[in-house]
Amino acid sequence: MRPIKLSKKERGLAVLAFLLALGALPTTAEPVIFVPTVILSFLCCFYLAYHHEGGRIWKTMFMLVVAVILALISYWNLWSLRARLVVSVTGMQSSGENTNGCTIYLVNVSPAILPPLPWFRQTSNGNKTHQMSNTFPSDVTKGNELVVGAANESADHGTFLQLDHLNVKIQFPDDIASFKAGMYNDYPGGGGMVEAEIGRNTDGECYPKQTTAVDDPNIVVTKSGPAMLQVNSSSAIPPGKIIALFIVPYLNRHSFSPPSDLSVEGSYDYTYHGITRRKAVEFENKGMSKGVK
């Protein structure tokens, strides 16, 4: 069998095809970058196969191998872009004896999750998703109100991803009087729950007196405007962790209305197979709840 001889032009095209394929590896989350590089790499290989001497069978096999490699690169890129991180906000109006008329917002920042491949059902402990639910169930001691957030895990819905960085801005329709933030408590059997007791201070304003949310120094929440909170992480957040925020607006500066003026924007960085990507957060407005008595 004769060795394959390439002209200077063909060697240049081979090097270019290799570099383009290398550039299409999952190092960026932008399809506008890796899709053209994959196409150009395929065209370079096709030109080599078409113009180079050799049998049709060998040329066809060469192009099939190239097509499979580039298809795998493209699929890896495209699938890893399907990660989701949802920021959900529920507004609740209190009717408790001591907190009547107060409005509380419960914000849940869900874990980043990547759905499973269509043909591969993942069922290990790390491959679960959270179904969030919020309740405003009852009055507690001295007429205060109790706000509860719960998360139930179910299998076969993807893989939790490590959050390398989180930056979220939440705009509320009312001026913020006070807030508390932390992580959900983990259930022994999976899932989690967080509670906050809402009371009044000496000025007559409602505020979250105490919560069961776990303090985390990596989560930094600041009031960046009269009605805006900014949530940042100073370091990586482990997979599967849920961030909870209890926000109470000023009562005497509040005109009750559905949270239609709520807005959330931001991004997060996550690592998948050693590659870091950035995506925008998703916002879910769950509306106002009167609570369950």
> 149: which residues sit within 8 A by CB, 6+ positions away?
106, 108, 132, 133, 134, 135, 184, 193, 194, 195, 244
Domains: count for the chain: 2
CB contact at 8 A, 132 and 88: yes
Last residue of a domain, one of 80, 106, 133: 80
The phi and psi torsions of 110 (rounded to 5 degrees) equal -75, 165
Whole-number pLDDT of residue 105:
87
Instruction: Give the domain range for residue 72.
Output: 8-80
Q: What is the 8-class DSSP label of residue 112? A: P
What Å distances lie between residue 107 and 10, 92, 197, CA to CA? 58, 11, 15
Whole-number pLDDT of residue 134:
58
Whole-number pLDDT of residue 126:
44
Q: Cα separation of 270 and 166, whole Å?
A: 9
The strand pair at 206-211 and 192-200 is best described as: antiparallel
| Same domain for 199 and 90 | yes
| Same domain for 170 and 63 | no
What CATH number is attached to the domain comprising 252?
2.60.40
Q: What is the 8-class DSSP label of residue 25? A: S
The phi and psi torsions of 235 (rounded to 5 degrees) equal -155, -175
Q: Cα separation of 169 and 156, whole Å?
A: 31
Reading the chain (293 residues) residue by residue, the pLDDT tens digits are 344 566 677 778 778 877 777 766 655 546 667 788 888 888 888 887 877 766 778 778 888 888 888 888 777 777 777 788 888 888 887 776 777 778 888 888 888 887 765 544 443 344 455 555 655 554 455 566 677 776 655 444 567 888 899 999 999 888 888 898 988 877 655 567 788 888 888 888 888 888 888 888 889 999 887 788 999 998 888 887 888 888 888 876 554 454 457 889 999 998 776 777 888 998 988 877 654 44
Last residue of a domain, one of 61, 80, 99: 80
